[in-house]
Structure 1
C-alpha cells in the first residue's frame, strides 16, 4: 500500500529533528500502523522480521534503529517486546488509527518548542470525523 504523503512528511520530519538512521521514516510508519487501541506496539521477533521485510531492511538494522528510538524517547518500553509511542510527541491519536490506509488523516502539524533542555516536538494530527 502506498504511503500517505502526510505520514511520509511527518516521519521524515521526525527523522530529521532527531538525526535518526536512514530507515527511520519507513520504520516509524510501520510502528504507527502497529499501535493498538491501548497505545501499545507489540514487537516480537516475528513482528520485527515482518517489519524488516516490509521496509526492505534486516532484523539487525531494525533492532539498531529501535535502540536509537528508545534513546531519543520516541518509543518507550512498557514490558518485554511491548512499547508505546512517546505520548508527549504523538498523543493518543494514532491508537488504532490505521485501518489499511491513512485516508482518515487530514493534516499533521508538528510544533517544536525550543528551550534550555533542547527541543520538544509535539504532533497535532487532524483526523476525519474527529471533534
Structure 2
C-alpha cells in the first residue's frame, strides 16, 4: 500500500509538468488506464483514505488527471485511451463532486473543516477536468 500511495503522490506532484507526446505510447496507455481505474473503481481500497493522508486513492487519481489535463495533448491521450464506459463513469463521479451543499450543513470542528476543504478542492478538480 505504501508504494501505491507514494507513486500516486509523486505523480500528483509532477503531473502538470508531463506532456505525453514525449513518452512511449505503451507507457502512457498503462498510466492512463491505471489512473482511470483508480478514479472510477468503487472498492474500499480506492475510496477509503490512504494511511498517511486525509485523501483517497480515487481523489489522488482524479487530481493527477486534472493536472495532466492542463496540456491539450494529454487530454487527447486521456480521451482516446479508455473505453467509453470508463469516461462516462468518470464524468458521473465528477458531477457528484460538484454538489457541495452537504458540506455547509455540518457542524464545525477540525475534522469537518478538513472535510469541507477537501470537498471544495474536489469541486475545483471536477470543474477543471469536465471543462478540459
Superposition TM-score, scaled by structure 1 size: 0.29
Kindly indicate which of the two structures has a greater share of residues assigned to strand: 1
Superposition TM-score, scaled by structure 2 size: 0.29
Kindly indicate which of the two structures has a greater share of residues assigned to helix: 2
Higher alpha-carbon Rg: 2
